[in-house]
Amino acid sequence: MGVSNFDVLQANAYIGANFDTQGNRIFVRPYLGTGQGDSPKSALKTLAGALAKCTANRNDVVSMLADHSTMDYTTDLQSATLDWNLSGTHLIGSPPGSIFGSRCRIAFTDAYDAASNLFTLSGHGCILRNLLLFAGVAGTLPTGCMKVTGNRNLVENCQISGIGHDNNDIANAYSLYLSGSENTFRHCVIGLDTISRGTGDNAELVFAGGATRNLFEDCIFLTFAAANTHQFVKRAVSATDRSNIFKRCQFINFDWTAGGGVTMLEVFDVTASGSPAGFIDLFGCSFAGAAAWEASTGASGIVRADNVSAAAGSATTGGRALAVTGA
């Protein structure tokens, strides 16, 4: 059965993709989907099923459609990590909405308790837009929310929230794990401020594997630190190269002490040794609920900001100060 002109027009209204494509458009409705995915009226039920119908590097577009304002009607539940592994294949939530709590939602099943993450973006050149990725479940093994190992992807207007249950506050857990390069995160929420964290050596954003030239633009990083040694961003030895850029980003720790929160010693916990060291460059960024971008004790010297004065003994690079402001 062919697709009518009405279905094509309705598809274009739903898609919100803002680009032409030579590929197919596939529709998913997690609650009401019963069809083959060729129109909103004949949508598939799962994202995994939609991905199986896509072809890499053809710019196929999967549109995820909300049927209600509550999570039961809008969530694609995962019993295993969903690996978006087809390059040039795009996932768009519709209708677009708030940066917080999109009703196009990806989450674990209640019984999930595997040592893995919710969603992996291993493809290259993909667009993800208007989605909520939430990793919060009673199990004690899940490692995090979203892992990006691919390159040159665009993630826009998405909320990426890991450690979404008290049991998930484990060592090395994360909201976003980034080892890919040349990715752009625009107008996203990364983290969560409703579940305290700090028991494990975890963070909202973890850099790994030589990630370079990634851009975070107009993003909000959230956390709820239960220990002052918790940080928003962690970077191990040689985990980045060249520069990773944060532009007009806010880092907000819910440090209200009556709620069990504490002020963090620093925003960034990064290691300078290794070759190349790789810089973290901040343009027009701010933080709350922390004492410094990076504490002067053990400072890496690779975090640079345009809105701080150079600390005593610090160098400046390109007219921008090393962002050491704490004790």
The pTM is what?
0.88
Q: How far is CA 285 from CA 11, 45, 156, 239, 249, in A?
A: 38, 40, 18, 22, 5
Q: Say if residue 109's pLDDT is above 90.
A: yes
Q: Domains in the chain: how many in total?
A: 1
Does residue 59 fall inside a structural domain? no
Q: What is the pLDDT of residues 154-193, one digit of tens each?
A: 999 999 999 999 999 999 999 999 999 999 999 999 999 9
Does residue 320 fall inside a structural domain? yes
Does residue 10 fall inside a structural domain? no
Domain that holds residue 194: 65-87+96-326
b/e 80-95 (16+ beta carbons within 10 angstroms → b):
ebbbbbbbbbbbbbbe
Does residue 55 fall inside a structural domain? no
Does residue 221 fall inside a structural domain? yes
How big is the chain, counted in residues?
Answer: 327
Q: What is the pLDDT of residues 32-67, one digit of tens each?
A: 899 999 999 999 999 999 999 999 999 999 999 988
Q: Are 226 and 260 in contact (CB under 8 A)?
A: yes
Does residue 24 fall inside a structural domain? no
Tokens for 35? 């069809």
Distant-in-sequence, close-in-space partners of 136: CB < 8 Å, separation ≥ 6: 107, 108, 161, 162, 163, 164, 165, 168, 192, 195
How many CB atoms lie under 10 A from the CB of residue 9? Answer: 10
Does residue 206 fall inside a structural domain? yes
Does residue 230 fall inside a structural domain? yes
Give the pLDDT mean for 203-229.
94
Query: In this predicted model, which residue has the larger pLDDT, 312 or 249?
Result: 249
Q: How far is CA 166 from CA 72, 114, 137, in A?
A: 21, 16, 9
The DSSP string of 245-279 is EEES-EEEE---GGGT---BS-SEEE---SSS--E
Position 279, amino acid: F
Q: Say if residue 19's pLDDT is above 80.
A: no
Banded pLDDT at 298 (limits 50, 70, 90): low
Q: Are 146 and 160 in contact (CB under 8 A)?
A: yes
Distant-in-sequence, close-in-space partners of 152: CB < 8 Å, separation ≥ 6: 124, 125, 181, 182, 183
Q: Are 270 and 300 in contact (CB under 8 A)?
A: yes
